[in-house]
Chains A and B, each alone.
Chain A
Amino acid sequence: MDQGNIRNFCIIAHIDHGKSTLADRILQITGAVSERDMRDQVLDTMELERERGITIKAQAVRVSYRAADGQTYQLNLIDTPGHVDFSYEVSRSLAACEGALLVVDASQGIEAQTLANAYLAIEGDLELVPVLNKIDLPAADPETHARALADLIGDTPDHVLRISAKTGAGVREVLEAIVQRMPPPAGDPAAPARALVFDSFYDQYRGVVAFVRVIDGALEAGTRLRMTPAQTPTGRLTAGESGYVVTGLKRVGDLRVGDTLTGAQRPAPSPLPGYREAKPMVFCGLFPMDSDDYPDLRDALEKLSLNDASLMWEPETSQALGFGFRCGFLGLLHMDIVRERLEREYDLELLATTPNVAYRVFTTAEEEIEVHSPVDLPAPQRIERIEEPYVRCTVLVPQEHVGAVMGLCQERRGVFVTMTPIEQRQQIVYDMPLAEIVMDFYDQLKSRTRGYASLDYEPIGERESPLVKLDILLAGDPVDALSMIVHRDSAYARGKGLVERLRETIPRQMFEVPIQAAIGGKVIARETVKARRKDVLAKCYGGDISRKRKLLERQKEGKKRMKQVGNVEVPQEAFLAVLQIDSSGKR
């Protein structure tokens, strides 16, 4: 394929604005997917993606398109996730493209993530093609939203395409715009091969498979590739193309996203600039329910992290929960998804502890420590000060919900920055501790604005805060997996709310279980799970001995879902109870 006839593009859209439907329609029109194989969300191959209706992983697919000018073009579509947690994935796929379709729902208009991702694309020098989707909806207001969209990217409203991915109306015009408006890839086909790995996954039969964008030269079938330090034959890709390479690598740790592939015979003099490492923002402990599964969990994390460059993990030992891993995630959704994938795809039963952010602790001995777990927080007298990550949080919301959003942000220690009208809505910007967002900010935001608010945030560095460690004691013993770092002013309310919640979550045991919240050894709240006074099977005679024995077997199975912490049996939900308590101690 002539390099001039290649287009690499991606689709940027807020969640639910129709990105996957548009991708489906493009595949269908170009014949990449037969009518027979057509199903919704072709690119969302993960079971989880289909179920939740979201895209988690970037995907690359190549289609052939015969344009109105009579020429045939190779279109490489790189599908990208829409959720704020995955903006890192978005930035990676943007680097493999020359253009992007900016898709906006014609009834909803621009959302917070549309803004964030559009800015990313503009920064990356991509040619943006604005598209208003869902014009078939009765509530669609294409004129207003086209003006706003054009304003956003410095274009004119008549350049904004109006389509319905659902009915197919206007989709051919989208394909024409890709061909006409987006540039072909630059890069020198004669130069030594350089291909950027933008994603990878592990295939049981083929080993490590890398998604690459060939920048210069060509990767020929059978040529030996050099890539620190392994060498392996591949398929064929030429400059400007994206595709995948079966590397034959057996060890998932041998390949990192951002690596450069080049030919072993004629290696490129310098590698491509890689990606900045994804910085995990949220941390939690993952422990196998059955401690025998620890090696399997390690293996699963290794495989999963190849497919997920942003997942960080290191071994962790908890007094309460035994051996596990401290894992770092991009955000809460990411955490949720990783856990679910580990359980489903690797058949593990896991216990996740309360998530927290990374804290920077300056000690009186003038050390600087990054703390990923409350357990690692030094004793109070050793702490000089603690800094916590802040984010600039952008909320787009209709005027009538402005008060609710500002109230929520204030409660969560937010510092007001600006408020700007965009279309009929307000863009509200607050600087907030990330820890407050990690709690249940997004759920609260959605419920207080009846689902109308959209949220985006970006890290803006660390700020000093008066933070303390809140310990939880069960039956007198501190449970490391339940401790948390909280703002001094909300410690009492949180501690009180948490012990109440735990009292409801922990079932009655054979003995009384006091639950206490304490700061530095001082108890600030206490509840008690009363002892069970009776646990007997009503009757047992010759006719039902087997049935009663099986009942005991079933009850035992149920208890396996509990974690034995000292003498106390604690259900999994207890370790997430913290999440449901806000700073005022309410749920």
Chain B
Amino acid sequence: MTPAAPPPAGGVRHLYLHLPFCAARCGYCAFVVEVGREEVRDAYLDALLAELAQEGGRLGPLETVYLGGGTPTLMGAGRLTRLLEALAPRLAGGAEVTVEANPETVDRTLARALVAAGVTRVSLGAQSFQPHLLAALDRRATPARVRAAAGLLREAGVGRLSLDLIQAVPGQTMADLERDIAEVGAIGPDHVSWYELEVKPGSALAARGAVVDPDLAEDAYLRVVDALEDMGYRWYELANFARDGARCRHSLAYWTARDYLGLGVGAVSTVAGTRWRNAPGVDRYVAALAAGRRPPRTREPLAPATRRRERWMLATRLDEPLDLGWAGPPDHPEAVPRLAGLGLVEAGAGTLTLTRRGRLLQNAVVQELMDFST
């Protein structure tokens, strides 16, 4: 069953922190990222802590914290420790604390520092183990480095290890995919996120005119789902796989439309029916907080109908029945029997479940049921 949202009175339980610095911008990246900028990293950390102080009143005991980027590990062990220590008093017991890591930034010192500072989960950006695909994505790590980083994190005692991979990269063959699947099997992470390449406007790949081959993307996706299920992973979200008990609780908060606070440049928060996004631009962000002001933001009020549609869009990504009492009725109830007839959904008492084929077509299924036109 889809968990219900926490009562707003208890405060926001999920916190995202954006650490925008990278050594270089990867080909597929269109995130808010700052390349280099050593000199502003301390000031940025101060600003981030200042924003945490500003918004801290909204927070309840934190069930999950997620440090994303950018390359959070580029901040170095010292700064990460300082940040995590500031967060420690706000954590609920058994909180999940995730840090994203790039393989080339992981060494023994860093791995140990993370564990010592309370990190319970590391999401390692492998993307691929094939040199030509890593090159196509402008990734700097070698396959050996990816394997080594996984080993170092394990050795340091990181509780949960997750690997990020990308498929449908231009130049990828199904044989390449099989080799990546075998590498994942050899490392045996607790959790895998395997995405189809998105060529986003503003990314280097888009500028190079790269396109995703839809046939390859389809074949690769179906193969990844099958292969990881065969290895014993649970396909708990459309692009995410977990061993028993190793689902990402922070991501689950997004998919179950819980409130979350996002701090840092470009970060997004959704609290009590309003979504806001901090503007991009590290310097503006730092300057505003240094002056004691809130960072520049854009706000998006979410109408009840929009919130209902988002619940449908997000929660049907999961492998659990959708609780209609929580998600609200579909905009097009007449589509339910039709989709059921096509073997895409199963209607239960107060629930709707996407079948395996329905999940593979989740986008189309949701659009049949909900009115996304404006």
Binary per-residue interface labels of chain B (338-374) against chain A in the complex, 1 for a CB within 8 Å, 0 otherwise:
1000101000000000000001111111110001111
Task: Say yes or no: A545 contacts B314, CB within 8 Å.
Answer: yes
Binary per-residue interface labels of chain A (555-576) against chain B in the complex, 1 for a CB within 8 Å, 0 otherwise:
1110110000001000000000
Task: Say yes or no: A545 contacts B344, CB within 8 Å.
Answer: no
> Which A residues, 531 to 559, have Cβ-Cβ distances below 8 Å to chain B?
532-546, 548-549, 552-553, 555-557, 559
Q: Is A510 among interface residues, defined by CB-CB distance under 8 A?
A: yes
A536: contacting residue among B251, B267, B362, CB under 8 A: B362
Task: Say yes or no: A560 contacts B360, CB within 8 Å.
Answer: no
**Complex interface: stretch among B148-156, B175-183, B214-222:** B214-222
B270: contacting residue among A545, A548, A552, CB under 8 A: A545
List chain B residues, Cβ under 8 A from A559. Answer: 367
Task: Say yes or no: A553 contacts B372, CB within 8 Å.
Answer: yes
Q: Is B141 among interface residues, defined by CB-CB distance under 8 A?
A: no
Task: Say yes or no: A536 contacts B313, CB within 8 Å.
Answer: no
Task: Say yes or no: A539 contacts B193, CB within 8 Å.
Answer: yes
B167 → A minimal CB distance (Å): 9
List chain A residues, Cβ under 8 A from B360. Answer: 533-536
Task: Say yes or no: A510 contacts B364, CB within 8 Å.
Answer: yes
User: When chains A and B are docked, how far (Å) is the Cα of A557 from the Cα of B367?
Assistant: 11
List chain A residues, Cβ under 8 A from B342. Answer: 510-511, 567
User: When chains A and B are docked, how far (Å) is the Cα of A535 from the Cα of B365?
Assistant: 9
Q: Is B268 among interface residues, defined by CB-CB distance under 8 A?
A: yes
Binary per-residue interface labels of chain B (221-264) against chain A in the complex, 1 for a CB within 8 Å, 0 otherwise:
11000000000000000110000000000010111000010100
Task: Say yes or no: B309 contacts A542, CB within 8 Å.
Answer: no
Task: Say yes or no: B363 contacts A537, CB within 8 Å.
Answer: yes
List chain A residues, Cβ under 8 A from B222. Answer: 533-534
A546: contacting residue among B16, B300, B359, B366, CB under 8 A: B300
CB-based A-B contact count at 8 angstroms: 99
A541: contacting residue among B198, B254, B363, B373, CB under 8 A: B254
Task: Say yes or no: B267 contacts A553, CB within 8 Å.
Answer: no
B223 → A minimal CB distance (Å): 11
Task: Say yes or no: A543 contacts B217, CB within 8 Å.
Answer: no
Tell me the count of chain B residues lying within 8 A, CB to CB, of chain A: 46
A536-B270 contact in complex given A510-B344, A510-B364, A542-B262, C-beta closer than 8 Å = no
Q: How large is the interface on A (under 10, 10 to 19, 20 to 34, 35 or more residues)?
A: 20 to 34
Q: Is B326 among interface residues, defined by CB-CB distance under 8 A?
A: no
B372: contacting residue among A535, A544, A555, A567, CB under 8 A: A555
Among B16, B193, B314, B371, the most chain A Cβ lie within 10 Å of the Cβ of: B314
User: When chains A and B are docked, how far (Å) is the Cα of A555 from the Cα of B366?
Assistant: 12
A554 → B minimal CB distance (Å): 9
> Which A residues, 488 to 516, have Cβ-Cβ distances below 8 Å to chain B?
510-511
Task: Say yes or no: B363 contacts A535, CB within 8 Å.
Answer: yes
B367: contacting residue among A533, A541, A555, CB under 8 A: A555
List chain B residues, Cβ under 8 A from A549. Answer: 306, 309-310, 313, 372
Binary per-residue interface labels of chain B (264-275) against chain A in the complex, 1 for a CB within 8 Å, 0 otherwise:
001110100001
List chain B residues, Cβ under 8 A from A542. Answer: 16, 253-254, 260, 262, 268, 270
List chain B residues, Cβ under 8 A from A546. Answer: 268, 275, 300
Among A532, A537, A538, A559, the most chain B Cβ lie within 10 Å of the Cβ of: A538
- Name which residue of chain B comes closest to A555, CB basis: B367
Q: Is B317 among interface residues, defined by CB-CB distance under 8 A?
A: yes
Task: Say yes or no: A538 contacts B373, CB within 8 Å.
Answer: no
Binary per-residue interface labels of chain B (179-204) against chain A in the complex, 1 for a CB within 8 Å, 0 otherwise:
00000000000000101111000000
A539-B218 contact in complex given A510-B344, A549-B372, A556-B373, C-beta closer than 8 Å = no
A82 → B minimal CB distance (Å): 44
Binary per-residue interface labels of chain A (213-230) against chain B in the complex, 1 for a CB within 8 Å, 0 otherwise:
000000000000000000
User: When chains A and B are docked, how far (Å) is the Cα of A557 from the Cα of B372?
Assistant: 9
B268: contacting residue among A534, A540, A543, A556, CB under 8 A: A543
User: When chains A and B are docked, how far (Å) is the Cα of A534 from the Cα of B16?
Assistant: 30
- Name which residue of chain A comes closest to B193, CB basis: A539
Among B217, B239, B361, the most chain A Cβ lie within 10 Å of the Cβ of: B361
B58 → A minimal CB distance (Å): 15
List chain A residues, Cβ under 8 A from B195. Answer: 538-539
5 contacts between A and B (CB under 8 A): A534-B217, A535-B361, A536-B361, A543-B267, A567-B338
- Could you tell me which A residues sit within 8 Å of B by CB distance? 510-511, 532-546, 548-549, 552-553, 555-557, 559-560, 567
In the complex, besides A532-B364, A549-B313, 7 extra interface pairs with C-beta distance below 8 angstroms are A534-B221, A535-B364, A537-B238, A542-B253, A542-B268, A545-B270, A555-B372
